[in-house]
Amino acid sequence: MVETANTDRGDLQVAETRSAAAIAGAVWATKIARARAMPPEEKLLAGARLFDRVQLRMMEGIRALYPTWSDQQIVVECRRRLAAVRVREERGIYTPVDPS
């Protein structure tokens, strides 16, 4: 009986994994099809436009965490977080140059 239950659970997990993989595959295919259909002149600056939207979402999140903060404090915190990500990504790649 226990063995049967375990097998059922295993089958369910396999089915769920297959289903999740199918959904992920379909989402990816849609993403690729959309990107193919987008005009190149729109795509070049899209990264900068998306960044503005991401920043707004980040600021909304910070405001929700710290409702008493001023707009300026929220901007400073948002930029601090972005700078921290940048430092991590650039670690070991860039080194300062001595102008002399």
Partner 1 sequence: MTSDQALARVIDQLERGSIGYLVVGALSSNLYGVPRATDDADVEVLFDGFDVVSFAAGLGDEYRLDRQMMIEGFTGTVRYVLHHEPSGFTIELFRLGGDPHHQERFSRRRRLRVPECRGEAWVSTAEDVVIQKLRWARRKDLDDIVNLIAVSGDELDWEYVNRWAKVHGTSNLLTDLRAEAGR
Please, which residue, 67 or 99, has the CB nearer to partner 1? 99
Amino acid identity for residue 94 in this structure: Y
Q: Pick from 22, 35, 65, 84: which binds partner 1 (CB under 8 A)?
A: 35
Structural tokens at position 7:
């097998």
* Smallest distance from partner 1 to CB 62, Å: 13
Does residue 67 belong to the site contacting partner 1 (CB under 8 A)?
no
Report residue 94: phi and psi, to 5°: -110, 145
Residues 6+ apart with CB under 8 A from 69: 62, 63, 77
Site string for partner 1, 68-97 (x = CB under 8 A): -------x--xx--x---x--x--xxxxxx
